[in-house]
Amino acid sequence: MAFLAAAVGVIGALCLLDLLLTFGVIRRLREHTELLSRGGAVTPPVVGLAAGEPVAAFSAVTTGGERLPGAGGLRVAGFFSSSCSACPERVSPFVDYLRSHQVAPDSVLSVVVAPSGEPPPYLDRLAEVSRVCIERVDGEVARAFKVAGFPAFCLLGADGAIVASGYDPAMLPEPVTAL
């Protein structure tokens, strides 16, 4: 009998806790709904440099041995990490974005951060549509773009400044056509 009373008490306490958590979630949803209805802007996540900021000077060597003396002539940059679980699933949308907007491979830079030194299996797909650099975790190119997480995608303007950036290449606007 005592066991039954204890079980009922524990179940009652769990139900009360669930009810309190549910009320907390509902209150938070109402706050978000109110913010959105008042025209509150939803801030996109920071992936690196903000729109309008210029890319810092950098020097890199591609997997093909080409030396890149900075961001001059780049229209799109993609940053991946071999230890990132979301990176492999973003490669196809990145490739689709570049192909659908007919971005020339010589104006695209894909940077792969390979902490273990082992390049990821998607490296060949990136090499089809871009120049590829492999670098350390705190590599020069990622620092120049102030990359805050992976994957990250940046669209650059004719002046070398960031036009847009994000974690999803499908959310980038159409690239600038004239450099």
CATH number at residue 119: 3.40.30.10
Residue 142 CB neighbours (<10 A):
23
User: Which tokens hold the place of 42?
Assistant: 């939803």
Mean pLDDT computed over 128-132? 95
Q: Rounded to whole angstroms, how far apart are CA atoms 38 and 36? A: 5
Could you tell me if 72 and 35 lie in one domain? no
Mean pLDDT over residues 142-158, rounded? 93
In a domain, 89, yes or no: yes
Reply yes or no on whether the pLDDT at 79 is more than 90. Answer: yes
Residue 51 lies in a domain: no
What is the count of structural domains for the chain? 2
- Please check whether residues 109 and 28 belong to one and the same domain: no
Q: Which of 33-37, 42-46, 71-75 has the lowest mean pLDDT?
A: 42-46
Whether 177 is covered by a domain: the verdict is no
Higher pLDDT: 94 or 10? It is: 94
Interatomic CA distance for residues 51 and 166, integer angstroms: 11
pLDDT band of residue 179 (cuts 50, 70, 90) is very low
Q: How are beta strands 108-113 and 131-135 bridged, if at all? A: parallel
State the pLDDT confidence band at 177, using cuts at 50, 70 and 90.
low
Over range 174-178, report the average pLDDT: 68
Judge whether 179 lies within some domain.
Answer: no
Where in the sequence is the domain holding 78, given as residue range(s)?
A: 60-171
How much is the average pLDDT of 145-170?
Answer: 92
Mean pLDDT of 19-48: 75
pLDDT at 6 over 90: no
